[in-house]
Amino acid sequence: MSLSRIFYPRTRSEIIDQFLRFGAVGGLGFLVDWGTVSLLRSPLGLTAATLIAYFVAATENWLLNRFWTFRLSAASNQHMALQWLRFLLANSVGFLLNRGMVFLLYATVPLTVRHPVIALAAGALCGMIANFNLSRHLVFRAQADGTMPAATSNLSVFPDNSTGPHNRND
């Protein structure tokens, strides 16, 4: 079985739609991130607040991505706790890009210490592309047996202009 069969969606327009949903979820995650930093900054300090906020926002992002962005490919075929851990692990690259940029800006641009939202936005953008690709391919994927979830049964499993296993267009 080809690996392309386990990654839904496959068409360019479906991937763009999925990326836009991922971006919308990320936008909400950014607000959660910013709100958490704002709430925790006074009692814990900026560094601790920034680190904790990432995990709060990442958990919110995972939930919304599981049930909205990637709902057709992975919501039912994985245990939730294991998928959450896989999400955090897969997005560790995005975490390094995201928080690396945030702390770099804190260290080099004094304005970002006074207004962390600037550094948080820059960090979110740095991690977005990596997180989308890793989430799509490693966390939220269809079952490996090649079966499509019931909600996608109206999509063809064969590329355009190809035939099924019996040389006919089914």
Tens-binned pLDDT, residue by residue, of the chain (170 aa): 444 444 555 678 888 899 999 999 999 999 999 999 999 999 999 999 999 998 999 999 999 998 898 877 765 667 888 888 989 998 888 889 988 999 999 999 999 999 999 998 999 888 888 899 888 888 887 655 544 444 443 333 334 444 444 444 44
**pTM to 2 decimals?**
0.70
- How many independent structural domains does the chain possess? 1
User: Contact at 8 Å (CB) between 116 and 50?
Assistant: yes
Whether the Cβ atoms of residue 77 and residue 61 lie closer than 8 Å to each other:
no
Looking at the domain assignment, is residue 44 inside a domain?
yes
Judge contact between 44 and 38, C-beta under 8 A: no
Q: Is residue 163 part of a domain?
A: no
Q: What is the pLDDT of residue 164?
A: 43
Residue 81 covered by a domain:
yes
Asked whether residue 166 is domain-assigned, the answer is: no
What domain range includes position 100? 10-147
Q: What is the pLDDT of residue 76?
A: 62
DSSP calls for 101-166: HHHHHHHH-HHHHH-HHHHHHHHHHHHHHHHHHHIIIIIS---TTSPPPGGGTTS-SS-TT---TT
Q: Is residue 83 part of a domain?
A: yes
Task: Look at residue 102 and tell me if it is in a domain.
Answer: yes
